[in-house]
């Protein structure tokens, strides 16, 4: 198999991972908007929405895993040449922020929300604004990463 085909295979996997990650991030954002709408009206319906959207973080993890593995593959095939370019360094920093945002912040807030929802422990106002911040950071940074990856500013 030629190196060109292997390289293109990594790019295809990178874009599939990107599709999964960015797609489910948007779906998670839209799903949460529905959740909060129902939360204010009818908590039993909100529970159903919560159940439906709880699968998204799993797909996000699969997506980010695929992105990282294929990204490493691309770097290997290109002998790390992108690693010296400014756009890539900024992108890499943003990827780290996105990973921390997903695992240290977003996931924790969602767990707390589930807990407070199940035990009916008061309103979840603070968690609501934290999850909104999580989605803003996630979507904004993914957008900047797309710009950096395509335009490769230097």
| Nearest residue (CB) to ligand HEM, 98 versus 131 | 98
In the DSSP assignment, the letter for residue 72 is: H
Structure-token pair, residue 52: 């439906």
59 touches ligand HEM (CB under 6 A): no
Q: Give me the least distance between CB of 131 and ligand HEM, in Å please.
A: 19
Structure-token pair, residue 118: 């199940």
145 touches ligand HEM (CB under 6 A): yes
Q: Give me the least distance between CB of 19 and ligand HEM, in Å please.
A: 9
User: Binding to ligand HEM (CB under 6 A): which residues in 87-106?
Assistant: 95, 98
142 touches ligand HEM (CB under 6 A): yes
Distances (CA, A) of 29 to 36, 94, 134: 11, 19, 9
72 touches ligand HEM (CB under 6 A): yes
Q: Identify which of 124, 153, 134 has the alpha carbon closest to the alpha carbon of residue 60.
A: 134
C-alpha–C-alpha distance, residues 80 and 125, integer Å: 45
């Amino acid at each position: 198999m030629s190196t060109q085909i292997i390289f293109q295979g990594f790019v295809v996997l990178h874009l599939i991972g990107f599709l999964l990650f960015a797609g489910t991030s948007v779906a998670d954002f839209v799903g949460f908007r529905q959740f909060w709408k129902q939360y204010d009206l009818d908590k039993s319906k909100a529970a159903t929405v919560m159940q439906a959207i709880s699968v998204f973080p799993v797909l996000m993890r699969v997506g980010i895993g695929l992105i990282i593995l294929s990204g490493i593959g691309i770097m290997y095939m290109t002998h790390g040449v992108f690693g010296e370019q400014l756009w890539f360094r900024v992108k890499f920093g943003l990827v780290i922020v996105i990973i921390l945002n997903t695992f240290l912040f977003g996931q924790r807030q969602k767990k707390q929300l589930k807990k407070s929802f199940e035990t009916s422990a008061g309103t979840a106002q603070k968690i609501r604004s934290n999850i909104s911040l999580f989605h803003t950071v996630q979507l904004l940074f993914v957008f900047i990463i797309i710009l950096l990856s395509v335009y490769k500013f230097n």
